[in-house]
Amino acid sequence: MTAYERAVLDRLLSAEFPGREAALIQAKTARVQSIDDDGCFDFHAPDGPDIDCEYFVLSEGLGPTDSYDTPILLTLFQRKGRLGGVEFTRFDGDPNYFPDPREWTVGPFEFTP
């Protein structure tokens, strides 16, 4: 895991969400694989207890805007109780913009039907 990936993960794990304690334990041993140039990565073989959360997405982050005034949305998600990955969603703007994770606003995923 790169230093930037670790900083992204730590920031997303700073949000309070159901199953966070298990996710923190899994994050200690998780290996990651980068899956695209946007910064997305998947987790492989995280050890620890299952994440007990009814939602696919565990936490979200909204980054500061780039020079085009476009933010980046981040999601930390699970697959069957295991850390699944981190998704960067770019709505437009600079594809090489990777803000400092400390600048993101993060929180638990909140689904409202």
Residue-wise pLDDT for 17-68, tens only, equals 999 999 999 999 899 999 988 889 999 867 899 999 888 999 999 988 888 8
Percent of the chain with pLDDT over 90: 61
Tokens in use for 111?
Answer: 């689904």
CA angle 28, 59, 86 (to 5 degrees): 60
For the chain, which residues make up each domain, given as ranges? 3-91
Amino acid making up residue 62: L
27 touches 41 (CB < 8 A): no
The pLDDT assigned to 97 comes to 87
89 touches 73 (CB < 8 A): yes
- How far apart CA 16 and CA 32 sit, in angstroms, is 22
Nearest to 1 by CA among 31, 26, 28, 35: 31
pLDDT band of residue 112 (cuts 50, 70, 90) is low
